[in-house]
Amino acid sequence: MRNKRRKLLELTSESDSDSDSECESKPGGSSKDEQLEDKSKIKDSSSLLKAQLNVESNEKNDIHEEPEKGIPKPDGKKQHNHSALELNDRNSIPIPEKKKKIKHKTVIQDNLEDFIKNVPKWSAIINYKGMKDVFLRDTCTIDYHLLGLWYYVRKINHGFLFDESSEEAFEKTLEEVIIKIDNNDWDLARELWVKNIIKYDVSPTKRLKRFQISLFGSEFEFFIQFVLKYQKHELLQSCDQICSKNSQEIISKESEHIYFKKKNGNVILYSCYTDKCKECRKHIKPKIKFHDKTNFIYIQSLKDDILIQEIPKEVKIDNQTFKFFYSTVHKPGHFLGIFDFKNNLYAVDDISQRVKCLEPRHVSYFRIPTSISFYYLIEN
């Protein structure tokens, strides 16, 4: 037993001395076996360290690639998620299926999002003359004007329907139409307009196994003539300041139409009155004096030579300022709408049901002549 204990003590003392000598000696002073054993240990520890580093780097990459909403980037800006469609064409804005919640949006962003969500699709299925599922086609003559009027009532002048409320059938129908557009029920909105406002009396024709009617024609026929009552005005004679008839003579008591005309490269207001004053013999420039408070106006382009970039951003009539909101433009067989959101123009096409933010490179849109322009009153 004593011999065994001595051997054990000797072994332990030797191992202690070996370990001490390893710490003090240079790497070349150990045996080959011990060097191989040390190298394998170092290799194992380094591979373990690399694995840990790889895990950490992967975790960091995962956090960078898929950040949680609201977590700011290192530069202090918030992450913005973009859909594949937005990344493919940032100027073309598809109709969103669901409204996404975005924090800290401006009023114009909120309004634009709601506007895009309510853009109509060309055509409708309506009940008409006792027949169900009648196909209503060529709705571009009313679509952009209904969309623009809906936006005006809901986003610009909330009190318009209240101010204009009456027992007249037009106001009642208009309110119903606005509510239907609120719910994106464009079929019913158009059905109400066709039956109660236009009071269409054309018999449906059967084509491709279904009955259909068309609104192909002019915007004036199907929309504008019904809203001109909101801009009734007198035309006063404006000639020489010292003339007794200046601003006193009434040319017309019941006018409704207001036009844009291009003269010497400039777009001016025009009333189609070109006579000379019988007293001073100067050309008369009619002045508009509205009958009542006018919340908005529709201005028709007299000829097809006025482009969207030439339309004035504001017009002053009867000591009131009106701001541009949209114009319709006409190309062969189809109308488009071009709307102004904070000095950015957005083209709307009801056939594709898309909205496109216009840039100078979209030259084709800037070559299409304007048809009708909508302006709304800026309260003083």
CA proximity to 121, closest of 140, 135, 104: 140
> Which residues contact residue 349 at a Cβ distance below 8 angstroms, ignoring those fewer than 6 apart?
336, 356
Q: How far is the C-alpha of 223 from the C-alpha of 225, rounded, in Å?
A: 6
Domain ranges of the chain: 117-232+292-377
**pLDDT tens, residue order, the chain (380 aa):** 445 445 444 544 444 444 444 434 444 444 445 554 554 544 454 454 444 444 344 434 333 333 333 333 333 333 333 333 333 444 444 444 444 444 445 565 679 999 999 999 999 999 999 999 999 999 999 999 999 999 999 999 988 887 665 557 898 999 999 999 999 999 999 999 999 999 999 999 999 889 999 999 999 999 999 999 999 999 998 898 889 888 888 899 999 999 999 999 999 999 888 888 888 988 888 999 999 999 999 999 999 999 999 999 999 999 999 999 999 999 999 999 999 999 999 999 999 999 999 999 999 999 999 999 999 999 76
Q: How far is the C-alpha of 185 from the C-alpha of 120, rounded, in Å?
A: 9
Residue type, position 244, single letter? S
State the maximum Cα–Cα separation within the chain, in Å, rounded to a whole number.
Answer: 147
Contact 219, 372 (CB under 8 A): yes
Strand partners of residue 207: 210
Contact 300, 259 (CB under 8 A): yes
Strands 296-301 and 259-263: parallel
DSSP string, 243-282: STTTTTSEEEEEE---EEEEETTEEEEE-S--PBPTTT-P
Q: What is the dihedral of CA 41, 47, 49, 54, to 10 degrees?
A: -170
End-to-end, the C-alpha distance of the chain in Å comes to: 114
Q: How far is the C-alpha of 281 from the C-alpha of 159, rounded, in Å?
A: 46
For the record, the structure tokens of 287 come out as: 């002045």
Q: How far is the C-alpha of 27 from the C-alpha of 85, rounded, in Å?
A: 63
Contact 332, 275 (CB under 8 A): no
Query: CB count, 10 Å around CB of 320?
Result: 16
Q: How far is the C-alpha of 113 from the C-alpha of 373, rounded, in Å?
A: 22
pTM reported for the whole predicted model = 0.72
Instruction: Establish how many alpha carbons lie within 13 A of residue 68's alpha carbon, considering only the half-sphere containing its beta carbon.
Output: 1
Instruction: Establish how many alpha carbons lie within 13 A of residue 100's alpha carbon, considering only the half-sphere containing its beta carbon.
Output: 15
For the record, the structure tokens of 37 come out as: 């054993």
Q: How far is the C-alpha of 59 from the C-alpha of 66, rounded, in Å?
A: 11
Contact 259, 288 (CB under 8 A): no
